[in-house]
Chains A and B, each alone.
Chain A
């Protein structure tokens, strides 16, 4: 029997106990997941978007049977992650980004062959898949190179083959392009898209904190922050939520000091504001009720002595959705007073 959903979680919680807090008032536990309920339909790519520490990796670890939940329930392909561990492992695979892992002394081919053994692939099948996938990701000429001698990008490509070699029903990609250069990251995204085109009944759960990646790849998307699932929709559906607003990005140098009781957020028409501190300038990303609110913002900046470097109106992005939901950027710069 096929389960209705590829992935289901119900009020899933994971709390880490902190051993030996240094001070009395230090917390004794940390909530990584604070009751996540999620249903991922079979087929397609579902994204989990959130900043570092949001709980994305914790969720993936639970779903891939590496970690037990503190409470709640999680099902993968209809199987319980706490009970049906072996059966789940036969159907899933996982690829994490930023990994320097691998038995460095094995060649690419040996490493893949060994993992094919782990998954119980027939010899002929394993060999055929290894050959095919080495060609597809463009590292066929490195098959006899020791893993230790591969660059980070090539190693991640090999890691992708390792993840997909078992032809899993469900695959977890945890920040798969983390630490990769632009070309390697693009190749990885292309690989993922091609695999899904060829295998439309398979499911990918992708975690990322790259907005553009989520926008490009995901059929549906959930935003997670501080262990809570905030919203779930298609990327287009999410962006629709902020389409009524006018989005502006202003670069100012310097930002100047705010006058008491006269902050940018207090300017009429300013809905939300995110501030990012760069070396040479401060970037203000703001959602206004309409374009007519802009003069008020510029007047405010002038009063506080800010120098306007550039001003850009743009279409809403997932980042705007994130700011609307969370009240800050995905990669928020701390300590900048607006």
Chain B
């Protein structure tokens, strides 16, 4: 809290309600995501759970493909599964924040009667979820290298590409998260199903564990509309720079993918502001902004 106090005291933060709201959301999100139980539960949830999920994936592929560890396809699957943790957390995480504030913590009316920039606040909460998931990924990828012969080497990682694509991906996916969160405001019962359902759908469409080209033709355009599709592929190419046999959207080079992701970041950011403003007004019209259904 002392460090945050110093940040909040800086002139830039004092002048900008949006920045203040973003940082408040970020601080609160971090407190919630890292402090909500005890260290054992935290480790279980953020490390053991993703490791277990990925191990299941590895075992399934090993059985089906008869020892594929260390192959490019295995790398594709493993990295996709590990990195999707980040994408999923931020894309559907904002939706969860809306539900948590409204139904679980029941603070919606306290927050939305305060002079908070709600968009920035939600973004901050979503980014906190993303940041905490980085911990999971920073465990699961080295684990893959050590245990499952994942062909990632520290010296070969294209860090500039990884950082730039992750920043662009973060903007685009956070904006998509706000759009989904905006929709969640309108759902009073079963709101939790929005995030759960979309998480599953995006996992399927985004090319996390198999190239998007393997999807039925009718579903492929949906995958191409998701920023996580491009970010996952760019992050994979940054972690394993040499060309591999199984690249999603293989017809596009890295520069093109980056350009698409940058364009998506702009489009989704603008769209998310428009949708959010519209959704807040609609929620106030319908009287569901602070609704508690006890569902």
Q: Tell me whether B28 and A120 are in contact (CB under 8 A).
A: no
Q: Tell me whether A113 and B115 are in contact (CB under 8 A).
A: no
Q: Tell me whether A101 and B113 are in contact (CB under 8 A).
A: no
Q: Tally of A-B residue pairs with Cβ under 8 A? A: 90
Q: Which residues of A155-194 are within 8 A (CB) of B?
A: 162, 166
Q: A101-B107, A162-B110 are in contact. Are A117 and B20 (CB under 8 A)?
A: yes
A97: Cβ under 8 A from any B Cβ:
no
A195: Cβ under 8 A from any B Cβ:
no
Q: A16-B287, A66-B284, A117-B24 are in contact. Are A103 and B114 (CB under 8 A)?
A: no
A102: Cβ under 8 A from any B Cβ:
yes
Q: A68-B281, A92-B113, A118-B115 are in contact. Are A103 and B107 (CB under 8 A)?
A: yes
Interface bracket on A: 20 to 34
Q: Tell me whether A90 and B8 are in contact (CB under 8 A).
A: no
Interface centre among B9, B36, B284, B290 (most CB of A within 10 A): B284
Closest Cβ of chain B to A139, distance in Å, is 18
Q: Tell me whether B106 and A120 are in contact (CB under 8 A).
A: no
| Nearest neighbor of A113 in chain B, beta-carbon distance | B1
Given the complex of chains A and B, what is the CA–CA distance between A123 and B116 in angstroms? 17
Closest Cβ of chain A to B33, distance in Å, is 10
Q: A122-B9, A123-B5 are in contact. Are A105 and B285 (CB under 8 A)?
A: no
Q: Tell me whether B109 and A96 are in contact (CB under 8 A).
A: yes
Given the complex of chains A and B, what is the CA–CA distance between A120 and B106 in angstroms? 22
A65: Cβ under 8 A from any B Cβ:
yes
Q: Chain A residues near B36: list those with CB within 8 A.
A: 105
Q: Chain A residues near B107: list those with CB within 8 A.
A: 101-103
Q: A66-B289, A105-B31, A115-B114 are in contact. Are A99 and B106 (CB under 8 A)?
A: yes
B71: Cβ under 8 A from any A Cβ:
no
Q: Chain B residues near A64: list those with CB within 8 A.
A: 109, 113
Interface string of A15-35 (1 = CB under 8 A from B): 010000000000000000000
Given the complex of chains A and B, what is the CA–CA distance between A66 and B9 in angstroms? 29
Interface string of A107-150 (1 = CB under 8 A from B): 00010011101111011000000000000000000000000000
Q: Tell me whether A104 and B281 are in contact (CB under 8 A).
A: no
Q: Tell me whether B106 and A101 are in contact (CB under 8 A).
A: yes
Closest Cβ of chain A to B285, distance in Å, is 5
Q: Which residues of B210-232 are within 8 A (CB) of A?
A: none
Closest Cβ of chain B to A29, distance in Å, is 12
Given the complex of chains A and B, what is the CA–CA distance between A64 and B1 in angstroms? 29
A336: Cβ under 8 A from any B Cβ:
no
Q: Tell me whether A94 and B113 are in contact (CB under 8 A).
A: yes
Q: A103-B107, A119-B114 are in contact. Are A66 and B290 (CB under 8 A)?
A: yes
Q: Tell me whether A118 and B1 are in contact (CB under 8 A).
A: no
Q: Chain A residues near B285: list those with CB within 8 A.
A: 68
B112 touches which one: A66, A93, A120 (CB < 8 A)? A66
Q: Tell me whether B24 and A123 are in contact (CB under 8 A).
A: no
**Which label, helix, strand, loop or mixed, suits the secondary structure of the B interface?**
helix
B183: Cβ under 8 A from any A Cβ:
no
Q: Chain B residues near A166: list those with CB within 8 A.
A: 114
Closest Cβ of chain B to A147, distance in Å, is 9
| Nearest neighbor of B17 in chain A, beta-carbon distance | A120
A100: Cβ under 8 A from any B Cβ:
yes
Q: Which residues of B95-113 are within 8 A (CB) of A?
A: 105-107, 109-113
Given the complex of chains A and B, what is the CA–CA distance between A257 and B241 in angstroms? 92
Given the complex of chains A and B, what is the CA–CA distance between A104 and B32 in angstroms? 9
Q: A68-B285, A120-B115 are in contact. Are A94 and B8 (CB under 8 A)?
A: no
A300: Cβ under 8 A from any B Cβ:
no
Q: Chain A residues near B20: list those with CB within 8 A.
A: 117-118, 120
Q: A67-B284, A105-B35, A117-B24 are in contact. Are A89 and B106 (CB under 8 A)?
A: no
Closest Cβ of chain B to A66, distance in Å, is 5
A304: Cβ under 8 A from any B Cβ:
no
Closest Cβ of chain A to B200, distance in Å, is 27
Interface string of B10-30 (1 = CB under 8 A from A): 000010010011011001100
Could you tell me which B residues sit within 8 Å of A by CB distance?
1, 5, 8-9, 14, 17, 20-21, 23-24, 27-28, 31-32, 35-36, 105-107, 109-116, 281, 284-285, 287, 289-290
Which 8 residue pairs are nearest across A and B when measured between Cβ atoms? A101-B106, A118-B114, A89-B115, A90-B115, A68-B284, A64-B113, A94-B113, A117-B24
Q: List 21 A-B contacts (CB under 8 A).
A: A66-B112, A66-B289, A66-B290, A67-B284, A67-B289, A68-B285, A89-B114, A89-B115, A93-B114, A94-B113, A101-B106, A105-B35, A106-B28, A114-B28, A118-B24, A118-B115, A120-B20, A120-B115, A123-B8, A123-B9, A162-B110
